[in-house]
Structure 1
Amino acid sequence: MTSRSKFAVRPAAAAALALGLALASSLAIAAPGKAEARARGHIADFAGRSLHGADQSYELQDLIVDANGTEHVRFNRRFKGLRVVGGDLVVRSNGQGVLEDISLTLAREPKVDDKPGVSQGQAKRLVAQRYQGDDQGHAPELLVYARGDLPRLAWDVRVFSEGADGTPSEKHVIVDAQLGTLLDAWDDVHTAAANGTGKSLYSGNVTLTTNSVTGGYELRDPSRGGTYTKNLAGKTRGGSIMTDSDNVWGNNATSDTASAGVDAQYGTAVTWDYYLNVHGRNGIGNDGKGAYNQVHYGRSYNNAYWSDSCFCMTYGDGDGTSLRPLVSLDVAGHEMTHGVTARTANLTYSGESGGLNEATSDIFGTMVEFYANNSNDAGDYLIGEKIMIKSPWMRSMIKPSADGASADCWYSGVGSLDVHYSSGVANHLYFILAEGTNSSYGTSPTCQAGDTRVATGNAVLSGIGRDAAAKIWYRALSTKMTSNTNYAGARAATIAAANDLYGAGSATANAVAAAWSAVGVN
């Protein structure tokens, strides 16, 4: 979790040493030492934000000072001397010592009973039932496991082994030290990625980053959080990760089941790159963890969806009459953005907040399509145009009401619509903000006083450009909006975001206000 709220400056950085830790001896020069001391002081002074408490200590991990003097000091956390997995944090201060932010994923203070009920030997035996290998002299380490909501005392049991192809494995297996259950596992050996060729349904031939395995390759991307694609083969659960012997996937047609997998995996990669390179977000959860895809879900399934419970996207093949396989690039970006929203504003999926949730996915699904710059699926403001058979598109951001159900304009009953239709107000807003009312993508009518769902006005507004519009929407989503934000709140949030990015009262902020007024939100 990340907070960007401002805090008062601590009056005396020297008091930071009350945390009881000496400065790292490797930092010999004064400026880094002062930055570390300031950061330690902020941890103690803002304990509610840092989740600092009794028996906690901190080890310096990294220190970066920006050209403007902003200090980013990263620490690893310990509780009663035990390493806290998931307890690391980054303290950001400006050059004058004012705390700007503390970044951490810890859910609550890591207070646990430090007396294990499961012994080292019992933990090793439990792991041996699941994983083959040996410890190579590494005794299980007692630690606090805090990657989930509730910190737990746990054993880190090391297992060293070798795969059939000779690839070594250095696995950490985390065992609950009170209950004896397996909590987590990961490998310190990160296998090399390979460059494969994907022959997709919608995006032409694309480069895929895949994973080398015994006998060939699997559709897993080690460079983007390990995201992978499974083939459900017409079922609704189970399935297996897609594999290939020559690293050439699909045939640009549905006759090869791998073709849809190519689109899904490519969509995941482009969406990952968009959020990282444009917004600085490292994966959907901003934690470097990759989501996964499930393709060929069910029989003739006419939908695609994101599920937080599996942290995955699921795609149907369509019925072949109204819909093709739902793995197009904008659909992929749309679905993964639901995951981003869940980890930022977490807009409740009903009423006006639900419409904003859906619109956010349409907005960034569209931006992912533009970012890809793929001539086979050029950027536009139409949603699902590649997957529709009888209709030219699923939704239009230019004039949402053209589908016969979506709202162009805000009115008092808009929150009672299905969220896919109430989203039209924000989609309309975004198009006008980005492109203006008259652009090469089409003419977007504005809303007049007394309008209900359908825009009929002809006011002329100029756009600020889609990149600026996207940065404003992302900042509003990630730093301003909350779960119950409605359209009036979204107007306030995006104006505030524009003020942050472009200056209070700037022409850009004024353009945001004017665009909201053009869709009836005042």
Structure 2
Amino acid sequence: MSIRRITPVLGAAVAGAALFAAASPVAFAAPAAPSPFTRAVAQLKSHAAPGAVSAGQSFTLRNVQTDADGTEHVRVNRYYQGLPVLGGDTVVHLGKGNSWKGVSHALRGGLTLSTTPRLSAAQAATAALGASRAASQHIDGTQLVVDADGADTALAYEVVVSGVAADRLPSELHVLVDAQTGRVRDAWDAVQTDGVGHGFHNGDVAVGTVLSGGTYQLNDSARGGHKTYDLFGATTGTGTLVTSTSNVFGNGTLSDRNSTAVDAHYGAAMTWDFYKNTFGRTGIRNDGVAAYSRVHYSSGYTNAFWSDSCFCMTYGDGGTGWTPLTSLDVAGHEMSHGVTSNTAGLRYSGESGGLNEATSDIFGTLVEFYAGNANDPGDYLIGEELQTSGAPLRYMDKPSKDGASADCWSSSVKRLDVHYSSGVANHFFYLLAVGSGTSSWGTSPTCNGATVTGIGNAKAGAIWYRALTVYMTSRTAYSGARTATLSAAADLYGSGSTEYATVAAAWSAVSVS
């Protein structure tokens, strides 16, 4: 891996330019106003304690989000002695007139540590290979980093080990190896999965196509050029672009392989429209450029996944007891992993991994409601179309109904698989949107015995999206998510509002204080 650095380039004097020019009025342009990044860094340094800024730190810009009232949220990457600080990503909040409105990060203080490793990169790579269970392993990259994991901050090698897992899921395992001791500090996979297969048909729907060379392509030019490809059972490559001579794709059954491609293409379109029309976000990176979809991955594969490296969604056809994974909530779920990667970047392990997975469940659910498709109406069940038995994968009203997910936060939640630690946030969101007790959507208990009255999907979704894009960072845990959503509710509705109070009540109801 390499770190892209922004290096200022100074213009050289123009060769042959005259020393003197004929006398004429000289117009002096006003100096350009400092950029949001320049102002954010200056404010960080002026507020070193809350910003956890210490000697040897530097910053690069990630992105800027500007509110309607001019408030700027400047997201930056942090470096120490030139090394990237994992967990040091920061959002600086600037009000009108460049006023300081606060900062969001997960650091506990400034950084002071040696950046001279005892281990070589090759030794770290050997240790990292042992952490991966994938076959056909190979090292994709190694870099020295500062792993700012709470109080246990250390110099480490970040090693990317690629391969294919036993269930045929591609693996891009990021392994943090202590650069002094060789101990594996942490590991997480950049390929983020829904964990199971999916199979459902969206019925008769419109799909975006482009006519090229006498054939129609599943190429949605109205939505950033999203394309859908058929892998024909392969596990590598882009696949073959799905085409038709008649502009008709699929036949509504699995006897036509393009029926699955229609579902994936439609799911991507609905997810694009949901983010654009609800939050003004055009595409996963908010740059107007679409990701792409791949269907018919491997053979009998009961999984789906998002990958940052290909910037794509991939769907298996399912095996015995399962159907293809191209349902609305799965499409919304996988694409939302991409949104998370390009905003808060929640690390896919521990509590931040549970929040990452819950974010995809939350927005996948909201995509399902947004689409209003009669074949799969909105609900608070995750993957209810995947198994031929009709059993959903996860329940938002009471996550523990799946037999593994957590309803309430405890110190042991961070040790659960991220698909199960996500239950705390899923339960919170259900309580925030629907409320506690019995409704047409399910029966939702609270961990503290309190009653919560929901504020609806629209407001609950707006709060979660703003928290994700403005306040959460890569190491946000459940306590930080409470703070982030309260800040978002205050921004959107006021700190004395019903919405703010309901956010607080819903977190308390899942034991997050």
Q: Normalising TM by the smaller chain, what interval?
A: 0.5 to 0.7
Preserved contact between residue 332 and residue 363 of structure 2 (Cα < 8 Å): yes
Distance (Å, rounded) in 2 between the aligned partners of 1:428 and 1:362: 11
Preserved contact between residue 260 and residue 327 of structure 1 (Cα < 8 Å): yes
5 Å-filtered alignment, 1:126-205, equals 201-205=200-204
CA displacement at 1:279 relative to structure 2: 0.8
- Identify which of 454, 467, 476 aligns with 1:485: 476
User: What is the SS of the residue equivalent to 1:272?
Assistant: helix
Q: Residues 521 and 37 of structure 1: is their aligned pair in 2 closer, same or farther, counting only changes over 3 Å?
A: farther
Aligned to 2:403: 404
CA displacement at 1:46 relative to structure 2: 2.9
CA displacement at 1:225 relative to structure 2: 1.0
5 Å-filtered alignment, 1:485-504, equals 485-504=476-495
Q: In structure 1, give the amino acid aligned to 2:217.
A: E
Q: Residues 201 and 215 of structure 1: is their aligned pair in 2 closer, same or farther, counting only changes over 3 Å?
A: farther
Structure 1 runs not aligned, ≥5 long: 1-35, 51-64, 73-91, 102-199, 449-456
Aligned to 1:390: 389
CA displacement at 1:37 relative to structure 2: 6.5
Preserved contact between residue 382 and residue 393 of structure 1 (Cα < 8 Å): yes
Q: In structure 2, give the amino acid aligned to 1:413.
A: S
Please tell me whether residue 516 in structure 1 is matched to residue 510 in structure 2.
no
Please tell me whether residue 347 in structure 1 is matched to residue 339 in structure 2.
no
User: What is the SS of the residue equivalent to 2:34?
Assistant: helix
Preserved contact between residue 200 and residue 386 of structure 2 (Cα < 8 Å): no
CA displacement at 1:460 relative to structure 2: 2.1
Distance (Å, rounded) in 2 between the aligned partners of 1:493 and 1:387: 33
- Identify which of 471, 474, 484 aligns with 2:462: 471
5 Å-filtered alignment, 1:105-120, equals none
Preserved contact between residue 200 and residue 323 of structure 2 (Cα < 8 Å): no
User: What is the SS of the residue equivalent to 1:500?
Assistant: helix
Q: Residues 49 and 253 of structure 1: is their aligned pair in 2 closer, same or farther, counting only changes over 3 Å?
A: farther
Question: What is the number of equivalent residue pairs in this alignment?
Answer: 343
Deviations 1:228-264, CA, capped at 9 Å, x for gaps:
0000011112321000001111011111010000000
Preserved contact between residue 425 and residue 519 of structure 1 (Cα < 8 Å): yes
User: What is the SS of the residue equivalent to 2:33?
Assistant: helix
Q: In structure 1, give the amino acid aligned to 2:505.
A: A
Q: Residues 499 and 217 of structure 1: is their aligned pair in 2 closer, same or farther, counting only changes over 3 Å?
A: same
Distance (Å, rounded) in 2 between the aligned partners of 1:44 and 1:483: 21
Aligned to 1:262: 262
| Bigger Rg, structure 1 or 2 | 1
Preserved contact between residue 39 and residue 98 of structure 2 (Cα < 8 Å): no
Aligned to 1:228: 227
Q: Residues 69 and 408 of structure 1: is their aligned pair in 2 closer, same or farther, counting only changes over 3 Å?
A: closer
Preserved contact between residue 304 and residue 316 of structure 1 (Cα < 8 Å): yes
Please tell me whether residue 421 in structure 1 is matched to residue 453 in structure 2.
no
Aligned to 2:362: 363
Q: Residues 446 and 222 of structure 1: is their aligned pair in 2 closer, same or farther, counting only changes over 3 Å?
A: same
5 Å-filtered alignment, 1:446-465, equals 446-448=446-448, 457=449, 459-465=450-456
TM-score (norm: length of structure 1) = 0.62
Distance (Å, rounded) in 1 between the aligned partners of 2:252 and 2:495: 50
CA displacement at 1:48 relative to structure 2: 6.6
Q: Residues 273 and 233 of structure 1: is their aligned pair in 2 closer, same or farther, counting only changes over 3 Å?
A: same
Preserved contact between residue 201 and residue 252 of structure 1 (Cα < 8 Å): no
Q: In structure 2, give the amino acid aligned to 1:323.
A: W
Structure 2 runs not aligned, ≥5 long: 1-28, 43-65, 73-92, 102-198
- Identify which of 29, 41, 65 aligns with 2:33: 41
TM-score (norm: length of structure 2) = 0.63
User: What is the SS of the residue equivalent to 1:284?
Assistant: coil
Preserved contact between residue 217 and residue 244 of structure 1 (Cα < 8 Å): yes
Deviations 1:82-121, CA, capped at 9 Å, x for gaps:
xxxxxxxxxx998x755899xxxxxxxxxxxxxxxxxxxx
CA displacement at 1:484 relative to structure 2: 0.5
CA displacement at 1:41 relative to structure 2: 1.5
Please tell me whether residue 376 in structure 1 is matched to residue 375 in structure 2.
yes
Aligned to 1:211: 210
Q: In structure 2, give the amino acid aligned to 1:318.
A: G
Aligned to 2:253: 253
Deviations 1:280-327, CA, capped at 9 Å, x for gaps:
1110011111000000000000100000000000000000x2211000
Distance (Å, rounded) in 1 between the aligned partners of 2:310 and 2:373: 29
Distance (Å, rounded) in 2 between the aligned partners of 1:393 and 1:473: 23
Preserved contact between residue 352 and residue 422 of structure 1 (Cα < 8 Å): yes
RMSD of equivalent CA atoms: 2.6
